[in-house]
Each structure stands twice: as structure tokens, then as C-alpha cells.
A and B are shown apart, each in its own frame.
Chain A
Amino acid sequence: MIRIRGLRKRLGRRQVLDGVDLDVPTGCTLVVLGRSGTGKSVLLKHIIGLMQPDEGTIEVDGQVMTGLHERDLNEVRKRFGMLFQGSALFDSLSVGENVALPMREHTNMDEAAIRARVAERLEWVGLPGIEDMKPASLSGGMRKRVGLARAIAMDPAYILYDEPTTGLDPIMSDVINRLIRSLQARIGVTSIVVTHDLHSAWTVGDRIAMLHEGRVVFSGTTSEARETADPVVRQFIEGNSEGPLQAV
């Protein structure tokens, strides 16, 4: 379980996070909605320790992440997989080497076992046999799926998705959404999906949280989100340019 309390972060002159309180129950897929620039990705980076908050705490399975020594922080990070918005594949490595990297760095698995795991994870994401290809020769959707294969290489307890469907066509977006659902069923992983793609949110989410002006203004199940009378959530869901969310 992930528990976030009173998280605040100022970047330059902007208060990006202004007291975020959020719980992510084990086994649940939480979708964090919000307009571009509301701090959704910043929130994810705090959860995995890539950014440190000005105030507030993040607990992962009861362990406070904030202020941890790098060695302890890395032990917690090994329980996470993260799919970055631009996939963040290493250009200098092949697809197989990208997926194998966390295993080569953190386990004593022999080469045959690593190769077998790489092949299995690439098959899970629907891309069998592309180990020798370079990331530069892949399409956007393929890159996302390889990024996902890398994120699940170490059987993480948590997966963080940063805008997993952004920039993809509707068909490929659906492929990614189905993968997120299938991973939850297959390995029982707890997921946080940051997105502003509503179709994706309804498809993959068990729970929805809405981030607005640095705070969580709504948190509930997917069906509660659909029926809520909260004006901010309603305006976002309906895609209306008039309302409390100002078009800038």
C-alpha cells in the first residue's frame, strides 16, 4: 500500500503540489487525472524517489520513502517498475539488453535465465523475438510496450505509468490499456496510472483521483467518478472549456 500525506513541492515560483493526500490500496489500479501541468508526473517522481518533497511523507508498505539513504531508497525502488512518458529506452542498448538491464544489475541470474525472462516479458507485451532490434527502429507503440516489458522484468509489486497512451493512435492505446489490465490480473500488481486520457482511465482504473491546483480534489471508485457532482471532475470528464477549470 502507498500512503501519501501532505505532499508539497514548489518548482521555481510555482507551487506544483500543495498538500496532496492519497492512498493506493494493494492490488488496485489508481488513475490520477488532471490537466496538463497540474503536477501528475511530479507526483509519480516523488513516489519513486526521483524528486524529494518540500514537505509531507510517502509511505510504501509502511516504510517512509522521504529522506531515505540512497541504498535504502534503492531497495524500495526495486519493488517498482516505471513506464515513462517517452518510454526512456536506452538508445545505445538493444531491446533485449534494455529489458535485461535491471536483472543484470540486481540479480545473480545466469545469462540463459535472463534471456528466457526477456523473451517471456516481450511475449507478454505482444512483441516476441525483437530482442536484437534497436529502440530507434521501433514505432511509438512498440517503444511503450518494450518500456513496459522492462518495467515488469523484475516482477515488481508496483508499476507507475506516466501518460501510457499519450501520442499513440486509438488502436495502440487500447492495446496498452488491455496490457495494463492483463498485468494486474497476471501478477496482481498495484498500479498508478497518470493520464488525461479518459477512455484509458475508465478502461484500466479501479479508482480515480483528480489533481487540481496541487491538491487531490476527488478520490473514489471509477463508478463514483462517473456519477460525482464535483464541478471540477464533471467539467474534466465532459471536456467542457467553461467552468472552474480555466483554459489557459
Chain B
Amino acid sequence: MTSHHDSLPVRGMGYVQHRLADAIAEIGRIAMLMLDTFRQLGRGLAAPRLVMEQAHAIGVQSLALVFIVSLFTGAVAAVQAAYQFSNVVPLKYIGSVILRSVIIELGPVLTALIVGGRVGAAIAAELGTMRVTEQVDALEAMAINPVRYLVVPRVVAAVLMLPVLTMLANAVAIFGGYVVAVTSIGVTTQTYVTGLKDFFYLKDLFSGLIKSFVFGGIIAWMGCYHGFRTEGGAEGVGIATTRAVVSSCVLVLINDYVLAHVLFRFIFPA
């Protein structure tokens, strides 16, 4: 216990302890929400209509954004590769470099970040508004479990749709790289395609899709968790939305690192 008479270092320690306890409590609450989601999974899937609605909101409505971002990601990857290859690596490898960087890293991570921004914010804002307008209480009062009714469909839809969006992003980015490589770098179609084929490994594609599966869960759970924790009115919804987006982006990047270690060291070693 600290008081205003305590010295600065003691107060500083108290503050750190307080923040640490808050962080541990928050991790515990997130773990409880995840556990509750798994408990309610069976009953939640018994209402496929809710999952389909969320799959439409998370997947179909993100298509245009994912398409545009991926197209330019592939294009930039081609320009950057050509610049870094100059006088060092033959340009015949440009297709290989774009392919591997896209399917292992750029496709899953950039898709997760843009979907995290769009969908994570939408989930947190919707559930946060439902919390502050007592709609979540109304569900409970009607003996309807809010995790089953609201969280399960969103998490299931996100973990199913993120790999699908990532596959699309991979294809579009590789196409974007191809357009730039052929039109402004002077690589032929045959060279580009040969580069793609020579260094295509199925394990790279799988590792990217496994990542996107995990990222889908992170985005939906962060949106739901911060939405459910919303307090106050419009200001609270704004805070919840910001927290959902920031936490899902940070967790996507941290988990990207952890998964890269696990996948390429233990599951798909070179």
C-alpha cells in the first residue's frame, strides 16, 4: 500500500504492481471468455444462420478492401525486389521471392491487420453499443447466453473466413507482382511463372493459412471482449473500439512471431 508520503521509487513500484495486477486480471478475463466460447460452441453451431450472417459481414464485405490492399502489396513487393536484386540476384527469381514472401508473411499478416481494423472495430462497436443499451442484459434476461448468441458465431465466422480471405489475398498479390514485373521491370511471363513454380512449397502455404486461422480468432475475440467490457455511453464505445483494434493488431504481430518459430522450427523444419 502506498500513500502520498511515500518516496517516488516506492510509489513507482506501487504503480507497476497495480498495472501488473490489472494486466493479469485482463488476461484471466480473456481466457475465461475463450473457455466460455469453447463451452458454448456446440449449441452456438446449432444456429448456422447466425454464423452465415457473420461470415457475410466478416468475409464477403471485406473482399473489396482485401483485394485492393493485396494488389498493391504484390506490386510494391515486385518493385522492392527488383530494386534490391539489382546487380546482386538475377531477376528470374523475382516470382519466387514474391510468392514466398506473400504466402508466408505478407498475405496472412496484412490481411489480418486490415480485417482486424475493419471487423475488430465493427464487432467491438456493435457489442459495445449492445452492452450500454442493455441489449446484452436483455439476452440474459431472456435466458439466452450472450456468448453463445453473440461470440460463438463471430469467432467461428472469423476463423473460417480469414484463411479464405488470405488465399484470395495471396492470389491477388502474386498477380499484382506479376503485372509490375512484366510491365515495368522487363521480366517475361514465362520467367515469372517459372520462378513461382520452382520455389513453391505446400508447407509455406499451409503455415500461412494456419497463421490466418489463429489471427481470425484473435480479431473476433478481441472485438467481443472489448465490446462486452464497454462502460458508459458513446465515449465508452469509442474506447472499446480503439482497444479492440490496437490489441488485435499487436497480438497478430506477436503471434506471427511465435507461430513463425513454432511452424518453421518444429512443425515444418527446413
Contact of A84 among B134, B143, B144 (CB under 8 A): B134
B191 at the interface (CB under 8 A from A): no
Secondary structure dominating the interface of B: helix
Proximity bits, B208-252, A CB within 8 Å = 1, else 0 = 000000000000000000000000000000000000000000000
Are the CB atoms of A88 and B143 closer together than 8 Å?
no
Are B138 and A84 in contact, with the CB atoms below 8 A? yes
Which of A77, A92, A106 contacts B141 (CB under 8 A)?
Answer: A77
Residues A17-35 near B (CB distance < 8 A): none
Complex interface residues of chain B between 119 and 151 (CB less than 8 A to chain A)? 126, 129-130, 133-135, 137-138, 140-145
**In the complex, what residues of B have CB within 8 A of residue A82's CB?**
138, 141
Given A86-B133, A88-B133, A70 contacting B145 (CB threshold 8 A) = yes
- How many B residues, CB 8 Å from partner? 14
Instruction: Flag whether A223 is at the interface (Cβ < 8 A).
Output: no
Give the residue among B130, B135, B143, B144 with the most A Cβ atoms within 10 A.
Answer: B143
Is the CB–CB distance between B141 and A48 below 8 Å? yes
Find out whether the CB atom of A78 lies under 8 angstroms from the CB atom of B143: yes
Distance A48 CA – B144 CA, assembled complex (angstroms): 13
Q: Which residues of B contact A70 (CB under 8 A)?
A: 145
Which residues in A have their C-beta under 8 angstroms from that of B138?
A: 82, 84, 88, 90
Give the contacts of B93-140 with A (CB-CB under 8 A): 126, 129-130, 133-135, 137-138, 140
Q: Are B141 and A101 in contact (CB under 8 A)?
A: no
- The reply to whether A74 and B134 form a contact with Cβ atoms under 8 Å apart is no
Q: Would you call A56 an interface residue if the criterion is a C-beta within 8 Å of the partner chain's C-beta atoms?
A: no
In the complex, A106 Cα to B137 Cα: how many Å? 17
Given A85-B134, A86-B133, A90-B135, A50:B140 Cβ within 8 A: yes
B141 near A50 with CB under 8 A, answer yes
On chain A, the residues within 8 Å of B135 by CB distance are 88-91
Is A161 part of the binding interface, using a Cβ–Cβ cutoff of 8 Å? no
Q: Does A178 lie at the interface of the complex (its beta carbon under 8 Å from any beta carbon of B)?
A: no
Cβ A45 vs Cβ B133 within 8 A: no
Asked if A105 and B142 make an inter-chain contact with CB atoms under 8 angstroms apart, the answer reads: yes
Docked-complex contact B140 and A105, CB < 8 angstroms: no
A6 interface residue, CB < 8 Å from B? no
Give A74 to B143 CA distance when docked, in angstroms.
5
Collect the chain A residues with CB atoms within 8 Å of residue B133's CB. 86, 88
Contact B145 A101 (CB under 8 A): no
Chain A hits for B142, CB < 8 A: 77, 101-102, 105
Taking CB as reference atom, which chain A residue is nearest B149? A105
- Chain A, residue nearest B137 (CB): A50
Cα distance, A86 to B134, chains bound together (Å): 8
The answer to the question of A80 belonging to the interface, with a C-beta cut-off of 8 Å to chain B, is yes
CA distance A85 to B140 in the complex (A): 16
B241 to chain A, nearest CB (A): 17
> Closest approach, in angstroms, between the C-beta of A28 and any C-beta of chain B?
21
- Residue-by-residue, is A190-208 near B (CB-CB < 8 Å gives 1, otherwise 0)? 0000000000000000000
A51 — nearest CB in chain B belongs to which residue? B137
Give the residue name and chain of the B residue nearest to A48 (CB). Answer: B141
- Closest approach, in angstroms, between the C-beta of B214 and any C-beta of chain A? 28
> Which among B126, B130, B133 has the greatest number of chain A C-beta atoms within 10 A?
B133
B126 to chain A, nearest CB (A): 8
**How distant is the Cα of A75 from the Cα of B129 in the complex, in angstroms?**
27
Question: What's the Cα separation between A86 and B140 when bound, in Å?
Answer: 16
A105 and B144 alpha carbons, distance in the complex (Å):
7
Interface residues of A (CB under 8 A from B): 45, 48-50, 70, 73-75, 77-78, 80, 82, 84-86, 88-92, 101-102, 105-106
Provide a sorted-by-A list of 5 A–B residue pairs whose CB atoms are within 8 angstroms: A45-B137, A84-B138, A89-B135, A90-B130, A90-B138
Identify the B interface with A (CB < 8 A).
126, 129-130, 133-135, 137-138, 140-145
Known: A48-B141, A75-B143, A84-B141. 14 other contacts (CB 8 A): A49-B140, A50-B140, A73-B143, A74-B143, A78-B143, A84-B134, A85-B134, A88-B137, A88-B138, A90-B135, A90-B138, A101-B144, A105-B142, A106-B143
